[in-house]
């Protein structure tokens, strides 16, 4: 009765947690499917049974267009007086890193003999990637999407339908990503025997966080090799935006071992730079500020790594935006893809151990970065990726602003001389939002709209 330890190693499976984070907090009806998925993950993904990983890599190349380039950003390098490289996931088929995971999981569903896949989507990027992969690999696909998101992401809804996916509106609650995940889990619990849930980020119960990370880790696998070829060494830092954290873990994974973890006590400041180490910065959506309104149940940001409390949501223990009672708060970001109250458990663990540094960038700074990258480099980044790009500017501003104290000076220096920024997706999907929000906020860098008047 008291000996529960042996149960964590169910069927000899690998560890379900990252330190204190992760686990499998799901209804019993789903546990057999989770066990089945664990077994499939180990056999097909980890052990390449039946050549699964070979086939996955072939699809990534032939259908997805991998490898994506690692491009030196000449104008940004000059502006920030350091070598800035962009990992161009925006050039992956579909326009975002999401396809890496969607292809992997849809293929896995087929290897597992499932007849149907379901997926949640917030902004529609994961739903679109899943619908594309489902068309390509010929399997039935249903996507759950909050009503609010459907109304603000109409082109992506149409794209999913074009690929013959069924899009099911979710009307409960605020009608955004959190509710879409809840509803997809309910569908999965109803149809678990013939259905696989293609979860869209490094969240959910084990083995999803590890499996999605593994499918996305092709980003850092390529980037590591590319930066060695182009710059002759590993980068000083990798910067990626973090909502749920799939592009983040994808961009970090193959660099995680390139450092001794710093002290877990994050308030002690940064120690001397180790020349061999790669610093990892997870840029969260700071929204309009890091406060919360408990009465309204709203956090005007999505910075769960920076400001969240430990809790259990959507199958995993992780860092969450929640009230003191444990009710989950509605998050906010101008970027729909970062707008989530939780974060992947592995990122929570890497932050807790000091390996990953969580930072955040607000809505305005992200919009400015959107325009800056578009003008200076000819790349329209997704609003999610704009957060990562914006962090370069903030670090540079602080470095230039000597009066702001040496903690911030350290922060700028820690990006180092050679930086990789993950451009997780392209921003075409965000143009409506950017036009509206830039005007509303008076963003100076925005192009003039007078041609329309």
Partner 1 sequence: MSELEAAFADEPALIPYVVAGDPGIEETKEYVRALVRGGADVIELGLPFSEPIADGPTIQNAIQRALSGGMTPDDYLELVSGLDVDVPVVCMTYYNLIYQYGGREAQRASERSSGGTPRDEEGVEAFVSAAADAGVSGLIVPDLPVEESGPLRLACDEYGLDLVFIIAPTTTDRRKRRITEQASGFVYVQARMGTTGAQADVSGDTHDSLARLAESDLPKAVGFGVSAGEHAREIVSAGADGVVVGSALVDIVASGENVAERLESKAAELKSGAREGEQEIPEPERTSN
Specify the stretch interacting with partner 1 by CB under 8 A; choose among 118-126, 179-187, 277-285, 408-416: 179-187
Q: For residues 288 and 440, what is the distance between their CA atoms, to the nearest angstrom?
A: 14
Judged by beta carbon, residue 28 or residue 138, the one nearer partner 1 is 28
**How many beta carbons lie within 10 A of that of residue 431, not counting itself?**
12
Secondary structure element (H or E) that encloses residue 195, with its range: strand 195-197
Judged by beta carbon, residue 296 or residue 401, the one nearer partner 1 is 296
Specify the stretch interacting with partner 1 by CB under 8 A; choose among 42-50, 52-60, 141-149, 316-324: 316-324
Binding residue for partner 1, selected from 112, 189, 231, 443, defined by CB under 8 A: 189
Specify the stretch interacting with partner 1 by CB under 8 A; choose among 1-9, 129-137, 356-364, 411-419: 1-9
Write the CB contacts of 54 (distance below 8 Å, at least 6 apart in sequence).
48
Judged by beta carbon, residue 57 or residue 186, the one nearer partner 1 is 186
Strands of 321-374 (E only): list them.
356-362
Binding residue for partner 1, selected from 182, 288, 353, 404, defined by CB under 8 A: 182
| Phi and psi torsions of 315, nearest 5° | 95, -5
β-strand partners of 130: none
3-state SS class at 49: helix
312 contacts partner 1 (rule: CB under 8 A): yes
HEC readout, 91-132: HCCCCECHHHHHHHHHHHHHHCCCCEEEEEECCCHHHHHHHH
Strand-pair category, 315-320 with 237-241:
unpaired
Q: For residues 411 and 369, what is the distance between their CA atoms, to the nearest angstrom?
A: 19
Token pair 């540094």: residue: 357
Tell which residue, 337, 319, 307, has the closest CA to residue 240: 337
Binding residue for partner 1, selected from 78, 172, 228, 401, defined by CB under 8 A: 172
Tokens of 24: 């499998």
Judged by beta carbon, residue 114 or residue 429, the one nearer partner 1 is 114
Distance of CA 99 to the CA centre of its chain: 12
Judged by beta carbon, residue 263 or residue 397, the one nearer partner 1 is 263
Tell which residue, 56, 36, 34, has the closest CA to residue 45: 56
Specify the stretch interacting with partner 1 by CB under 8 A; choose among 51-59, 101-109, 187-195, 444-452: 187-195
Judged by beta carbon, residue 312 or residue 396, the one nearer partner 1 is 312
From edge to edge, which strands make up the β-sheet containing 279-287? 70-72, 83-88, 418-423, 237-241, 279-287, 356-362
Binding residue for partner 1, selected from 186, 230, 270, 441, defined by CB under 8 A: 186
Binding residue for partner 1, selected from 19, 289, 311, 354, defined by CB under 8 A: 311
Residues in contact with partner 1, shown as a per-residue x/- string from 27 to 46 under the rule CB under 8 A: xxxxxxx-------------
191 contacts partner 1 (rule: CB under 8 A): yes
Specify the stretch interacting with partner 1 by CB under 8 A; choose among 41-49, 152-160, 284-292, 323-331: 323-331
Q: Would you name the residues annotated as active-site residues?
A: 98, 120, 424
Judged by beta carbon, residue 4 or residue 403, the one nearer partner 1 is 4
113 contacts partner 1 (rule: CB under 8 A): no
372 contacts partner 1 (rule: CB under 8 A): no
268 contacts partner 1 (rule: CB under 8 A): no
Touching partner 1, residues 192-251 (CB under 8 A): 192-193
Write the CB contacts of 302 (distance below 8 Å, at least 6 apart in sequence).
243, 284, 285, 287, 321, 331, 332, 333, 338, 339, 340, 341
Binding residue for partner 1, selected from 320, 343, 383, 412, defined by CB under 8 A: 320
3-state SS class at 146: strand
1 contacts partner 1 (rule: CB under 8 A): yes
Distance of CA 362 to the CA centre of its chain: 17
Binding residue for partner 1, selected from 326, 402, 405, 447, defined by CB under 8 A: 326
Write the CB contacts of 110 (distance below 8 Å, at least 6 apart in sequence).
137, 139
Specify the stretch interacting with partner 1 by CB under 8 A; choose among 69-77, 157-165, 191-199, 223-231: 191-199
Judged by beta carbon, residue 327 or residue 448, the one nearer partner 1 is 327
Touching partner 1, residues 327-356 (CB under 8 A): 327-328, 352
Applying CB under 8 A, the residues found at the interface with partner 1 are 1-2, 4-5, 7-8, 10, 16, 20, 23-33, 172-173, 178, 182, 185-186, 189-193, 265, 297, 309-315, 317, 320, 322, 324-328, 352
């Amino acid at each position: 009765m008291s000996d529960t330890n042996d149960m964590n190693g169910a069927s000899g499976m690998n560890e379900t947690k990252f330190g204190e984070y992760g686990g499998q907090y799901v209804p019993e009806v789903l546990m057999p499917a989770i066990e089945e998925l664990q077994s499939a993950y180990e056999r097909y993904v980890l052990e390449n049974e039946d050549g699964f990983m070979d086939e996955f890599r072939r699809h990534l190349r032939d259908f997805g267009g991998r490898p994506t380039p690692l491009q030196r950003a000449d104008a940004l390098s000059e502006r920030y007086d350091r070598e800035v490289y962009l990992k161009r996931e925006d050039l992956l088929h579909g326009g975002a890193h999401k396809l890496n995971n969607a292809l992997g999981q849809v293929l896995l569903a087929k290897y597992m003999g499932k007849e149907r896949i379901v997926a949640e989507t917030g902004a529609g990027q994961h739903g679109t990637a899943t619908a594309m992969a489902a068309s390509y690999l010929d399997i039935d696909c249903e996507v759950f999407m909050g009503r609010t998101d459907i109304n603000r992401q109409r082109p992506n809804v149409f794209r999913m339908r074009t690929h013959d996916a069924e899009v099911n509106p979710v009307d409960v609650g605020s009608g955004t990503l959190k509710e879409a995940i809840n509803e997809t889990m309910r569908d999965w619990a109803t149809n678990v025997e013939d259905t696989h849930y293609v979860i869209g980020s490094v969240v959910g119960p084990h083995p999803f966080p590890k499996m999605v990370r593994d499918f996305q880790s092709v980003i850092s696998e390529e980037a590591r090799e590319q930066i060695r070829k182009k710059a002759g060494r590993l980068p000083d830092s990798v910067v990626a935006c973090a909502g749920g954290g799939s592009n983040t873990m994808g961009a970090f994974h193959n660099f995680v071992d390139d450092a001794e973890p710093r002290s877990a006590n994050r308030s002690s400041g940064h120690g001397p730079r180790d020349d061999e180490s790669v610093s990892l910065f997870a840029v969260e959506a700071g929204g309009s500020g890091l406060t919360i309104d408990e009465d309204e149940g709203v956090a005007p940001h999505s910075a769960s790594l920076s400001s969240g409390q430990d809790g259990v949501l959507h199958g995993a223990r992780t860092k969450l935006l929640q009230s003191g009672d444990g009710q989950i708060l509605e998050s906010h970001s101008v970027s729909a893809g970062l707008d989530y109250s939780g974060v992947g458990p592995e990122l929570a663990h890497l932050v807790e151990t000091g390996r990953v540094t969580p930072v955040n960038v607000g809505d305005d700074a992200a919009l400015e970065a959107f325009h800056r990258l578009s003008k200076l480099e000819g790349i329209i980044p997704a609003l999610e990726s704009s957060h990562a790009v914006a962090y370069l500017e903030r670090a540079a501003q602080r470095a230039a602003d000597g009066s702001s104290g040496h903690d911030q000076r350290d922060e700028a220096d820690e990006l180092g001389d050679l930086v990789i920024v993950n451009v997780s997706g392209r921003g075409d999907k965000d143009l409506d939002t950017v036009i509206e929000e830039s005007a509303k906020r008076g963003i100076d860098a925005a192009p003039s709209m007078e041609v329309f008047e």
